[in-house]
Chain A
Amino acid sequence: DAKTTQPTSMDCAEGRAANLPCNHSTISGNEYVYWYRQIHSQGPQYIIHGLKNNETNEMASLIITEDRKSSTLILPHATLRDTAVYYCIARGFNDYKLSFGAGTTVTVRA
């Protein structure tokens, strides 16, 4: 799996959009970008995934650059409950695991 690089931490104001960057410059053509988050020590939770096109669901939006070397997860209106560690993961189509790195610790402040 391609290595991903994320900032260690970031703060966000409640009600504002949170933009979480991820670099995956060595991603290959069959690797998807996944985002998960982990609140405190709970099990990680799936947020969204994409291959080439931008994606949106009820939780977030995923913007992938045209060269696929980086992406941004957008939480449109951050709430205090969005405080968590966010993981950006590159996974090959036939892989049976997710390789979690250190992630970005996001703190939403009132």
Chain B
Amino acid sequence: EAQVTQNPRYLITVTGKKLTVTCSQNMNHEYMSWYRQDPGLGLRQIYYSMNVEVTDKGDVPEGYKVSRKEKRNFPLILESPSPNQTSLYFCASTPAGTSGRFEQYFGPGTRLTVT
């Protein structure tokens, strides 16, 4: 089944304890992105990757790191999480397309709480 998977789905952690949220897609998509969703703020892009070893900042990159060593994986790293990073996180992948089609396939989400 074509899908984007995220792990963990739920995580409660403490301030300053490094964590990684994994994202994997099995559709051979070139583009991958991370978003966070907060009440009243919609989804905001954190980082994106156009292909292996090519990443760039989105709208809210502070406090996050990413890497793209393999096409299928795009982990999100929080080196020193803080309470303001408590949020619902989504990973998405997108095939390189034509005709303006930009269909993003979203993962199920990771609900992170930082205390």
A: residues with CB less than 8 A from B are 32, 34, 36, 41-46, 49, 51, 87, 91, 93, 95-103
Contact = CB atoms under 8 A, between A and B. Distances in A.
Interface of B: 4, 31, 33, 35, 40, 42-45, 48, 50, 56, 58-59, 88, 90, 92, 100-109, 111
5 contacts: A32-B100, A43-B107, A44-B90, A44-B106, A51-B100
Contacts of B107: 43
B90 A43 contact: yes
Given A43-B92, A91-B102, A100 B109 contact: no
Nearest to B49: A96
Contacts, number: 59
Contacts of B35: 100
B102 A49 contact: yes
B43 A44 contact: yes
A42 B42 contact: no
A29 to B, nearest CB: 12
